[in-house]
C-alpha cells in the first residue's frame, strides 16, 4: 500500500468514525484524523522541500488517462502551509464549536439574534462540519499534487463543495446562506474558466497530463502561429479561473461575504490557505506553460497593484472586523502577485537575482499571510464569541478583559503591516529588494513601471498601518463603546494554544529569516533553475542580506527591551524618591485628560468611523459609502440618526448591474414558465424536433447553395 | 559608529537652536541652547501618572517609539563610514522601523480612550502614510543614479558621476527637510505651540504622557531631527575627508535647525484639511528627482 492509498484510507476511516461515534469522542477523532493526514502529507513534503521530489503514477481509466501525482518543491511548500493552518485551525475549531454552542442556550437572546444560531453540538451539523473540514483539507492537499487536469478539476469541485459546507455552518442565519451561495456561484464561474482552459489545452495536446501542457509551444509552431497566442489565451483563462479563487480584483467580491459568514477557524483557513490554492495554480501554470514571461509579468503586476490598493482601501472603511480582514486578504494577494510579477519579469530579463527575489518574496509572503491572517481571524473569532458582535463601533477596551488575545492580535497586526520585528516585514523587504534591483537594470519604461510599483507598495503599507491601528485601537483599546450585558473573559489556554503557536512562528520568521529562506531554495530554483548555471548564488546572496536584516530586527527587539527595563527601574526610583520625600502621596492613576471636562463618557471616544474620516473623504472617488441620515431639525428636535455602509464599487459595476440587467432581460421570457405540464412537454418535443431537423435542414441548405453555385 | 556619535551630539543642541532662533526672531532673549535637554533630564526624574483607561500598550509605546528612532539612527551612515547596520535595502528597514514607532505612538494615543487623542492619531497615521512614498521614490531615484541599494553605498557614490547630481542633491535635501518637518510634527504641517487640542497633531497624541515616558518621546523627537539632518548632510559630503566632513555636518545640522526656527517664526501652518495634499505633493518633487536621475543616466535617449 503506498502513501497515497494510505492517505485516502486514513481520510475515509476518519470520516466513517466521526459519523458513527457518539458524544465527545467525535472531536477527538476529528483532531486525530487531521494530525494523521498532516503527518502523512507533511513528511514527504518536507523531503521534497529538501530536494527529493516524489512521483506516483496511477493507471487511471480510459477517460482520464494516466494520473500522475507529482510532489515537487512547489507542491511541498504549499502542502506545508496547508498543514500548518489546518492543524492550528482544526484545534481552534474544536474549541470554537464547543464555545459557540454554549451560547446557543435559548435563554440567552441578543438583540440582533446573534449567538443563538449555531447548531447544537453533537448534532448532525457538527458531524457534517467535521466531515467537510476533512474533505476540504484532503482536497487542498490533493490539488497540490495532482497533475492530471480532469482529476484536478474533480478535486477542485470537492474543495469548492466542502468549503461551501463548512462556510454555512451557522446556516440558520439568512446572511450566512446568502454568502455561501454567493461563494458557490462565483467558485463555479472559476471552475468554468479552468475547465475551458484545461479542455482547450487537452484538445491541443491530446493528453490530460500537466506535463503535456509544456508541449503547447511546439504545437503552436506547427500551426504556424508564431506568437504562441494560444498559449497566452489559455494562460489567461487559468489566471482568471485561479484568480477568482485567489481573490484578485475584480474577482474578489465573494471574499468579503464568505469570510465573515464562516465560523472563525474556517475564515482563517479560507483566507490563510484556500485562496492560496489560486496562487498555487497560477504558479504551477507559469512553471509548466511555455509563455512569454515578460508579458505575463506585466499583466500580473497590473492586476496585483490594483488588488493590493483596492483591497486595503476598502478594508479601511469596513465596520465589520472580519469583513475588514477579508478585504485585507485581497490586499495581501496583491502583494503576493507583485512578487510573482517581479519574478516573471526577472525570468523574462534572464536576471536570476530579480527572478529569485520576486518568487522568494511571493512564496514567503504566502506563508506569512497564512500565518498572520489565520491568527487575526482566530482572534476575531474569540472577540466575537466573547462579545457576540463584530461591529467595531460597539467594541472597545477588550485589552483589559482579554490581554492575551489582544497581544496576539497586536502581533499579527504589526506583522500584516509589514513592520519589523515580525514576518511581514521580511517578505515585503524581499519584494522591495526585487523592485529596487529591477530599477537598477531597467531601461526607461520598465524603470518607471517599477517606480510605480514601489509607490503602490508603499501606499499599501501606509494604508495597512492606518487600517490596523484602527482595528486594534478601536477594538481592544480605550473603554467599551457599548456596555456588554454579560461578563467578558479570556478563553481557556487550550483555545489560545494554536494562536500562540502561530504567533511564535510569526516572530520566528521575523527574527530568523535566513533559516526560512533556505527552505525556499528548492521551490525558487524550480522557477529560476534553467536561466542560470549556478542558481543558488542569487539566493545565497539574499540569505546573506537577510542575516543582516535579522541582526537589525534583533536590534529592534533588544533595544526596546533595554529601554523598557531602564524605564521600569527609573519609574520605580522616581516613585520611591517622591514617596520618601513625602509631602503628599502621588496618585498613580487619574482619568484621561479631557480638556478640563470631567464628565467624560465612553461615547465621547474617537470611533472607528471618525478615525478614518479624513481618509474616507480623500478616497471618496474610489469608495462607495451609502449614508442614511436623519437630520436634527425643528425647535424641539426628536432625535437624529446617521448610518453609513461601505459598499464595493467593483461589485456594483461587475456583479450587481449585469445581473440586474440579465434578470430584467430574462424576465421577458417568463411566460415560458407558465406551470402547465402540457406546455413543458410541448417544449420538450419542440426541442427534440429541432435537434433532429436543424442539422438536416442545414445539410439541405448547404446542398442547395452548392447547387446554385454550380449553376 | 561615527555617524551614531555625531547624530547623538547633534541631537543635543538641535531643538535648542530651533528655540533660540525663534526667540531671537520674536525679539526675546530666550533660553539657552541646552534648555530642551535639561527639560528632558528633569522629566526623566519626575513621577509618572497614568490615565486609568490605559493598558500596557500605553506604557510600552514610548519605549518602542524611542528604540525605533534609535534603530533608524543606527542605519544612517556618515560619508564614507558606514552606519552600525548596513546592508543592501537598509533604507527599507529605516522607513519601516520608523513606522513601528509610529504604530505604537498611534495605538498609545488610542489607548487613552480620549476624544482628542484619536484625532491626532488619525492625522498622524494619514500624514505618515502620504509622506512615505516621497521617501521611497527619492531613495529609488538615488539608487537608480548610483546603482546601489544601501544608504552607505548610495551616498558614497552619489557625486562620483557628474556634478549635475548636486542639483538633485538640493532637491533631495528639500524633500528630506520637509519629511523632517512632517516626522517631527513641525511647521508648516503641525504647530507644536498650538494650545487648542483640536488643531494639534503630534501634541495631542502625547497629552496623557508624563514623567519618564514623556521624556522618552521628547528625546526621540530630538534624535529624529538629527537623523534627518544627517541624511541631508550625507547628500552633500559624499567622500569628503573627515576634517571637512565633520565641520560640514555640524554646520548643516545647525543650518537646518535655524531654518526650522525661521519657518516657525514666519510661516503659518497649512490648513489642516489640505495638509495631506501638501504632503503628497512632496512625492511629485521626488518624481522630479527620479526623472533627473533618468536624464543624467541618459535613459531617455
SS (H, E, C) A220-245: HHHCCCCCCHHHHHHHHHHHHHHHHH
* Chain B residue closest in CA terms to A575: B47
CB-closest option in B50, B115, B140 to A439: B140
Which of A426, A474, A541, A563 best probes binding to B when mutated, by most B CB atoms within 10 angstroms? A563
Tell me the chain A residues in contact with residue B276 when contact means C-beta distances shorter than 8 Å: 614, 618
CB-closest option in B46, B55, B87 to A549: B87
Q: Please name which of A85, A86, A54, A95 lies closest in space to residue A71, comparing C-alpha atoms.
A: A54
| Per-residue pLDDT reduced to its tens digit, A503-539 | 999 999 989 888 888 888 888 888 877 544 455 566 7
**Residue B16 counted as domain residue:** no
**Residue B151 counted as domain residue:** yes
What local confidence, expressed as pLDDT, does residue A160 receive?
92
More confidently predicted of A135 and A124: A135
pLDDT band at B279 (very low <50, low <70, confident <90, very high): confident
Q: What are phi and psi of A33, to 5 degrees?
A: -65, -40
| Per-residue pLDDT reduced to its tens digit, A404-427 | 999 999 999 999 998 988 999 999
Spell out the domain ranges in chain A: 310-576
Count of structural domains within chain B? 1
pLDDT band at A106 (very low <50, low <70, confident <90, very high): very low
Instruction: Report the range of poorest mean pLDDT among A122-126, A424-428, A581-585, B20-24.
Output: A581-585
Contact A429 B93 (CB under 8 A): yes
Q: Is B81 left (phi over 0), alpha (psi -120 to 50) or beta?
A: beta
pLDDT band at B149 (very low <50, low <70, confident <90, very high): confident
SS3 B75: helix
CB contact B243 to A (< 8 Å): no
Cell reading at B125? 497615521
B78 in Cβ contact with B2 (< 8 Å)? yes
* Chain B residue closest in CA terms to A572: B47
Which of A606, A613, A616, A620 best probes binding to B when mutated, by most B CB atoms within 10 angstroms? A606
Q: What are phi and psi of A605, to 5 degrees?
A: -65, 160
What local confidence, expressed as pLDDT, does residue A613 receive?
84
What local confidence, expressed as pLDDT, does residue A104 receive?
44
CB contact B236 to A (< 8 Å): no
Query: Has residue A114 got a pLDDT over 60?
Result: no
Report the helix count and the strand count for chain B, using DSSP H and E. 11, 1
* Chain B residue closest in CA terms to A406: B57
Instruction: Kindly report the nearest CA distance between residue B237 and chain A, in angstroms.
Output: 23
Instruction: Report the range of poorest mean pLDDT among A276-285, A441-450, B214-223.
Output: A441-450
**Residue B200 counted as domain residue:** yes
Instruction: Kindly report the nearest CA distance between residue A491 and chain B, in angstroms.
Output: 19
CB contact A613 to B (< 8 Å): yes
CB contact A501 to B (< 8 Å): no
pLDDT band at A119 (very low <50, low <70, confident <90, very high): low
More confidently predicted of A304 and A1: A304
Contact A552 B85 (CB under 8 A): yes
Contact A605 B63 (CB under 8 A): no
Interface of A with B in 386-415 (CB under 8 A): 396-397, 399-400, 403, 406, 410, 414
Contact B140 A551 (CB under 8 A): no
Tell me the chain A residues in contact with residue B216 when contact means C-beta distances shorter than 8 Å: 563, 567
Percent of chain A with pLDDT over 70: 92
| Per-residue pLDDT reduced to its tens digit, A370-396 | 999 999 999 999 988 888 888 888 888
Task: Determine the average pLDDT of the residues in A119-129.
Answer: 71
Tell me the chain A residues in contact with residue B123 when contact means C-beta distances shorter than 8 Å: 614
CB contact B86 to A (< 8 Å): yes
Cα separation, B124 vs A424, whole angstroms: 22
**Residue B157 counted as domain residue:** yes
Tell me the chain A residues in contact with residue B294 when contact means C-beta distances shorter than 8 Å: 444, 447
Task: Determine the average pLDDT of the residues in B67-72.
Answer: 92
| Per-residue pLDDT reduced to its tens digit, A162-186 | 999 998 888 788 888 889 999 999 9
pLDDT band at B161 (very low <50, low <70, confident <90, very high): low
* Chain B residue closest in CA terms to A602: B113
What local confidence, expressed as pLDDT, does residue A530 receive?
54
CB-closest option in B53, B110, B290 to A451: B290
Instruction: Kindly report the nearest CA distance between residue A156 and chain B, in angstroms.
Output: 39
Task: Determine the average pLDDT of the residues in A691-707.
Answer: 91
Interface of A with B in 432-461 (CB under 8 A): 432-433, 436-437, 439-440, 443-444, 447, 451, 454-455, 458-459, 461
Tell me the chain B residues in contact with residue A556 when contact means C-beta distances shorter than 8 Å: 67-68, 71, 97, 100
Task: Determine the average pLDDT of the residues in B139-145.
Answer: 87
**Average pLDDT of every residue of chain A:** 85
SS (H, E, C) B191-219: CCCCCCHHHCCHHHHCCCCCHHHHHHHHH
CB contact A514 to B (< 8 Å): no
What local confidence, expressed as pLDDT, does residue A585 receive?
66
What local confidence, expressed as pLDDT, does residue A116 receive?
47
Domain membership of residue B240 as a residue range: 2-11+42-296
Instruction: Report the range of poorest mean pLDDT among A109-123, A316-330, A671-685.
Output: A109-123
More confidently predicted of B243 and A370: A370
Contact B137 A618 (CB under 8 A): no
pLDDT band at A301 (very low <50, low <70, confident <90, very high): very high
Cα separation, A646 vs A211, whole angstroms: 45
What local confidence, expressed as pLDDT, does residue A457 receive?
92
Q: Please name which of A556, A545, A553 lies closest in space to residue A517, comparing C-alpha atoms.
A: A545
Which of B40, B43, B71, B151 best probes binding to A when mutated, by most A CB atoms within 10 angstroms? B71
pLDDT band at A304 (very low <50, low <70, confident <90, very high): very high
CB contact A606 to B (< 8 Å): yes
Contact B132 A472 (CB under 8 A): no
What local confidence, expressed as pLDDT, does residue A62 receive?
78
Q: In A622-702, where do the E strands start and end?
A: 624-630, 641-647
CA angle A22-A23-A27, nearest 5°?
100
Distances (CA, A) of B186 to B182, B201, B260: 6, 10, 8
Contact B110 A474 (CB under 8 A): yes
Contact A419 B103 (CB under 8 A): yes
Contact B71 A556 (CB under 8 A): yes
pLDDT band at A102 (very low <50, low <70, confident <90, very high): very low
Q: Following DSSP, what letter does each residue of A611-635 receive, concatenated?
A: HTHHHHHHTGGG-EEEEEEE---SS
**Residue B20 counted as domain residue:** no
Tell me the chain B residues in contact with residue A447 when contact means C-beta distances shorter than 8 Å: 144, 294, 299
| Per-residue pLDDT reduced to its tens digit, A235-259 | 889 999 999 998 888 888 888 888 8
pLDDT band at A500 (very low <50, low <70, confident <90, very high): very high
Q: Following DSSP, what letter does each residue of A121-136 receive, concatenated?
A: TTSHHHHHHHHHHHHH
CB pairs under 8 A between A and B: 256
* Chain A residue closest in CA terms to B139: A436
More confidently predicted of A583 and A73: A73
Tell me the chain A residues in contact with residue B76 when contact means C-beta distances shorter than 8 Å: none
B132 in Cβ contact with B95 (< 8 Å)? yes
Contact A563 B67 (CB under 8 A): yes
Q: Please name which of B166, B173, B114 lies closest in space to residue B145, comparing C-alpha atoms.
A: B166
B256 in Cβ contact with B177 (< 8 Å)? yes
pLDDT band at A117 (very low <50, low <70, confident <90, very high): low
CB-closest option in A447, A473, A594 to B294: A447
**Residue B26 counted as domain residue:** no
CB contact A589 to B (< 8 Å): yes
| Per-residue pLDDT reduced to its tens digit, A543-569 | 788 888 888 889 999 999 999 999 888
Cα separation, A704 vs A253, whole angstroms: 52
Strands A624-630 and A641-647: antiparallel
pLDDT band at A309 (very low <50, low <70, confident <90, very high): very high
ipTM: 0.93
Contact B107 A587 (CB under 8 A): no
**Residue B181 counted as domain residue:** yes
Amino acid at each position: 500500500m503506498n502513501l497515497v492509498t494510505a492517505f485516502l484510507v486514513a481520510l475515509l476511516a476518519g470520516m466513517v468514525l466521526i459519523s458513527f461515534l457518539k458524544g465527545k469522542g467525535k472531536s477527538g477523532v476529528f483532531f486525530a484524523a487531521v494530525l494523521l493526514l498532516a503527518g502523512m502529507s507533511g513528511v514527504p513534503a518536507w523531503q521534497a522541500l529538501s530536494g527529493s521530489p516524489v512521483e506516483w503514477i496511477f493507471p487511471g481509466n480510459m477517460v482520464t488517462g494516466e494520473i500522475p501525482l507529482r510532489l515537487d518543491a512547489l507542491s511541498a511548500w504549499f502542502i506545508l502551509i496547508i498543514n500548518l493552518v489546518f492543524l492550528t485551525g482544526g484545534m481552534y475549531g474544536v474549541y470554537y464549536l464547543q464555545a459557540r454552542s454554549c451560547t446557543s442556550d435559548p435563554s440567552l437572546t441578543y438583540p440582533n439574534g446573534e449567538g443563538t444560531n449555531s447548531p447544537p453540538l453533537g448534532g448532525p451539523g457538527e458531524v457534517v462540519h467535521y466531515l467537510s473540514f476533512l474533505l476540504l483539507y484532503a482536497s487542498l492537499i490533493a490539488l497540490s499534487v495532482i497533475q492530471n487536469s480532469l482529476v484536478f478539476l474533480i478535486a477542485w469541485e470537492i474543495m469548492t463543495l466542502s468549503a461551501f459546507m463548512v462556510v454555512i455552518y451557522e446556516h440558520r442565519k439568512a446572511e450566512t446562506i446568502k454568502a455561501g451561495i454567493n461563494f458557490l456561484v462565483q467558485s463555479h464561474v472559476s471552475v468554468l474558466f479552468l475547465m475551458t482552459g484545461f479542455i482547450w489545452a487537452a484538445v491541443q495536446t491530446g493528453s490530460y497530463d500537466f506535463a503535456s501542457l509544456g508541449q503547447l509551444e511546439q504545437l503552436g509552431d506547427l500551426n504556424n502561429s508564431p506568437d504562441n497566442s494560444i498559449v497566452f489565451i489559455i494562460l489567461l483563462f487559468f489566471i482568471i479561473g485561479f484568480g477568482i479563487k485567489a481573490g484578485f480584483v475584480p474577482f474578489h467580491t465573494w471574499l468579503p461575504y464568505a469570510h465573515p459568514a464562516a465560523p472563525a477557524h474556517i475564515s482563517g483557513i479560507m483566507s490563510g490557505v484556500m485562496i492560496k490554492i489560486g496562487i498555487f495554480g497560477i504558479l504551477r501554470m507559469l512553471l509548466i506553460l511555455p509563455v512569454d514571461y515578460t508579458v505575463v509579468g506585466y499583466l500580473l503586476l497590473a492586476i496585483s497593484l490594483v488588488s493590493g490598493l483596492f483591497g486595503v482601501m476598502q478594508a479601511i472603511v469596513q465596520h465589520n472586523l472580519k469583513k475588514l480582514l477579508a478585504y485585507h486578504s485581497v490586499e495581501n494577494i496583491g502583494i503576493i502577485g507583485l512578487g510573482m510579477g517581479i519574478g516573471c519579469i526577472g525570468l523574462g530579463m534572464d536576471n536570476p537575482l530579480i527572478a529569485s527575489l520576486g518568487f522568494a518574496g511571493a512564496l514567503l509572503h504566502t506563508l506569512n499571510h497564512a500565518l498572520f491572517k489565520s491568527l487575526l481571524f482566530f482572534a476575531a473569532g474569540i472577540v466575537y464569541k466573547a462579545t457576540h458582535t463584530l461591529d467595531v463601533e460597539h467594541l472597545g477596551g477588550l485589552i483589559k478583559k482579554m490581554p492575551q488575545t489582544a497581544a496576539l492580535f497586536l502581533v499579527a497586526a504589526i506583522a500584516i503591516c509589514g513592520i519589523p520585528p515580525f514576518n511581514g516585514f521580511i517578505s515585503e523587504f524581499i519584494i522591495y529588494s526585487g523592485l529596487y534591483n529591477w530599477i537598477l537594470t531597467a531601461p526607461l519604461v520598465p524603470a518607471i513601471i517599477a517606480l510605480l510599483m514601489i509607490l503602490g507598495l508603499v501606499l499599501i503599507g501606509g494604508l495597512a498601518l492606518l487600517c490596523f491601528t484602527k482595528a486594534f485601537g478601536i477594538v481592544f483599546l480605550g473603554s467599551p463603546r457599548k456596555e456588554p450585558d454579560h461578563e467578558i473573559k479570556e478563553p481557556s489556554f487550550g483555545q489560545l494554544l494554536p494562536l500562540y503557536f502561530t504567533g511564535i512562528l510569526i516572530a520566528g520568521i521575523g527574527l530568523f529569516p535566513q533559516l526560512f529562506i533556505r527552505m525556499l531554495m528548492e521551490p525558487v530554483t524550480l522557477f529560476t533553475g534553467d536561466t542560470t548555471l549556478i542558481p543558488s548564488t542569487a539566493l545565497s546572496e539574499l540569505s546573506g542580506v537577510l542575516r543582516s536584516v535579522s541582526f537589525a530586527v534583533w536590534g529592534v527587539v533588544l533595544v526596546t527591551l533595554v529601554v523598557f527595563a531602564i524605564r521600569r527601574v527609573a519609574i520605580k526610583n522616581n516613585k520611591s524618591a517622591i514617596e520618601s520625600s513625602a509631602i503628599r502621596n502621588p496618585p498613580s492613576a487619574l482619568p484621561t485628560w479631557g480638556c478640563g471636562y470631567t464628565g467624560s463618557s465612553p461615547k465621547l471616544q474617537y470611533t472607528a468611523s471618525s478615525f478614518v474620516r479624513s481618509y474616507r473623504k480623500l478616497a471618496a472617488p474610489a469608495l462607495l459609502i451609502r449614508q442614511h441620515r436623519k437630520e436634527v431639525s425643528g425647535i424641539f428636535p426628536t432625535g437624529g440618526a446617521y448610518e453609513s455602509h461601505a459598499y464595493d464599487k467593483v461589485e456594483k459595476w461587475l456583479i450587481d448591474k449585469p445581473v440586474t440587467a440579465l434578470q430584467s432581460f430574462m424576465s421577458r421570457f417568463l411566460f415560458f414558465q407558465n406551470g402547465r405540464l402540457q406546455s413543458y412537454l410541448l417544449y420538450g418535443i419542440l426541442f427534440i424536433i429541432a435537434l433532429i431537423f436543424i442539422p438536416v435542414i442545414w445539410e439541405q441548405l448547404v446542398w442547395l447553395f452548392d447547387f446554385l453555385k454550380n449553376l | 559608529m561615527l555617524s551614531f556619535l555625531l547624530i547623538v551630539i547633534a541631537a543635543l543642541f538641535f531643538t535648542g537652536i530651533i528655540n533660540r532662533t525663534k526667540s531671537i526672531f520674536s525679539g526675546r532673549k530666550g533660553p539657552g541652547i541646552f534648555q530642551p535637554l535639561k527639560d528632558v533630564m528633569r522629566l526623566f526624574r519626575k513621577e509618572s501618572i497614568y490615565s486609568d483607561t490605559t493598558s500596557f500598550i500605553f506604557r510600552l509605546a514610548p519605549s518602542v517609539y524611542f528604540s525605533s528612532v534609535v534603530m533608524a539612527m543606527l542605519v544612517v551612515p556618515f560619508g564614507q563610514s558606514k552606519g552600525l547596520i548596513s546592508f543592501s535595502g537598509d533604507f527599507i528597514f529605516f522607513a519601516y522601523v520608523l513606522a513601528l514607532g509610529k504604530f505604537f505612538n498611534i495605538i498609545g494615543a488610542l489607548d487613552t480612550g480620549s476624544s482628542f487623542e484619536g484625532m491626532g492619531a488619525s492625522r498622524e497615521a494619514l500624514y505618515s502614510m502620504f509622506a512615505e512614498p516621497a521617501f521611497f521614490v527619492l531613495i529609488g531615484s538615488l539608487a537608480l543614479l548610483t546603482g546601489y541599494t544601501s544608504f552607505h553605498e548610495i551616498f558614497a557614490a552619489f557625486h562620483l558621476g557628474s556634478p549635475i547630481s548636486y542639483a538633485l542633491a538640493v532637491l533631495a535635501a528639500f524633500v528630506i527637510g520637509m519629511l523632517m518637518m512632517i516626522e517631527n510634527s513641525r511647521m508648516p504641517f503641525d504647530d507644536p505651540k498650538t494650545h487648542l487640542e483640536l488643531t494639534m497633531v503630534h501634541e495631542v497624541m502625547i497629552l496623557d504622557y508624563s514623567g519618564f515616558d514623556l521624556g522618552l518621546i521628547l528625546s526621540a523627537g530630538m534624535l529624529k531631527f538629527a537623523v534627518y539632518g544627517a541624511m541631508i548632510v550625507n547628500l552633500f559630503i559624499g567622500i569628503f575627508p573627515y576634517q571637512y566632513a565633520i565641520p560640514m555636518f555640524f554646520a548643516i545640522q545647525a543650518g537646518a535647525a535655524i531654518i526650522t526656527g525661521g519657518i516657525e517664526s514666519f510661516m503659518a501652518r497649512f490648513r489642516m484639511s489640505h495638509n495631506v495634499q501638501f504632503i503628497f505633493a512632496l512625492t511629485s518633487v521626488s518624481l522630479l528627482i527620479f526623472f533627473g536621475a533618468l536624464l543624467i543616466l541618459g535613459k531617455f535617449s
